[in-house]
Amino acid sequence: MRKLPIPAWLVAPVVTLAVVAAIFAGSGRPRHDAPAPPQAGAWQGRVVGVTDGDTLTVLNGQMQPVRIRMAEIDAPEKSQPFGSSSKQLLSDLVYQKTVNVRPTGQDRYGRTLARVYVGDEDVNLQMVREGGAWAYRQYATDPETPKLEAEARAARRGLWSAPASQQTPPWQWRAAKRSRGQSPELQQASATAPAPPTTAAVAVTCGAKRYCSQMTSCQEARAYLQQCSLGRLDSDGDGTPCEALCRP
């Protein structure tokens, strides 16, 4: 039996439908230029307040204010040298802007610890890059943070343009402030206590050691704390590093 040819006017619609179907089927495949999916737990909000160089208030999706403590950095306290400049720098970066908040935990004061982004800009890193904050080494896990601090220090940007006597890390500043608030009995005990060993004679290489278990003496631990701002050695913020070595 001889097959009859299929008319062209029937073939065209079939081809067209096949092409359309292929296009829609391909739309489910990931595109290389598509934006990355949002991080789990991340949310957006508008910044309505800036307390200092590492603390801000953001309205969440329910229009509730959420206090954010920026993770892995530590800015000068308001009463410290450069404290007001650090606050102004953060305000310039985020105030009245919509930010992406990526929580990493919660601190002991109930504030949300987070990385904060304006668009693709990591504001936490930007504060360190511009000399507005220290890398909070006790808690920092991102190797980029201390690297940017070293670059800002070398370029004398922001707080690093101040005299060395005014470059006290905030965690040491807070410890000293707590010490000044001691009772008269504790102040008298502190006044009569022997002075801590000097660190001037100890030569250290910042980055060579990072933990108390690597320290060979209290003098070395103090040198790393003071010369390298290695805050992780002073876990309770009292100004004394590596209590196992430095406590009598």
Looking up tokens 């004398």 gives 156
Q: What average pLDDT score do residues 189-217 get?
A: 63
Q: What average pLDDT score do residues 228-240 get?
A: 71
Question: Per the domain annotation, does 65 fall within a domain?
Answer: yes
The reply to whether 196 and 149 lie within a common domain is no
The reply to whether 154 and 59 lie within a common domain is yes
The reply to whether 213 and 123 lie within a common domain is no
| CB-neighbour burial class of residue 54 (10 A; exposed 0-12, middle 13-18, buried 19+) | buried
> What is the amino acid identity at position 229?
S
Pairing of strands 121-122, 134-135: unpaired
| CB-neighbour burial class of residue 245 (10 A; exposed 0-12, middle 13-18, buried 19+) | middle
Look up the CATH number of the domain holding residue 81.
2.40.50.90
Number of structural domains the chain divides into: 2
Cα distances from 111 to residues 62, 104, 140, 232, in angstroms, run 17, 11, 17, 21
Contact between 233 and 244 under an 8 Å Cβ cutoff? The reply is: no
Structure tokens given for 124: 């936490």
* pLDDT attached to residue 190: 43
78-124 pLDDT per residue, tens: 889 999 999 999 999 999 999 999 999 999 899 999 999 999 999 99
Expressed as residue numbers, the domain containing 201 is 183-246
- What are the phi and psi torsion angles at 103 (to 5°)? -65, 145
* pLDDT attached to residue 233: 77
Distance CA 4, CA 57 (A): 77
The reply to whether 162 and 49 lie within a common domain is yes
Domain boundary among 166, 192, 217: 166
Contact between 241 and 233 under an 8 Å Cβ cutoff? The reply is: yes
Burial 4-29 (b: 16+ CB within 10 A, else e): eeeeeeeeeeeeeeeeeeeeeeeeee
Could you list the active site residues?
Answer: 69, 77, 111
pTM of the entire structure? Answer: 0.60
Domain boundary among 138, 166, 194: 166
Question: Per the domain annotation, does 22 fall within a domain?
Answer: no
The reply to whether 125 and 191 lie within a common domain is no
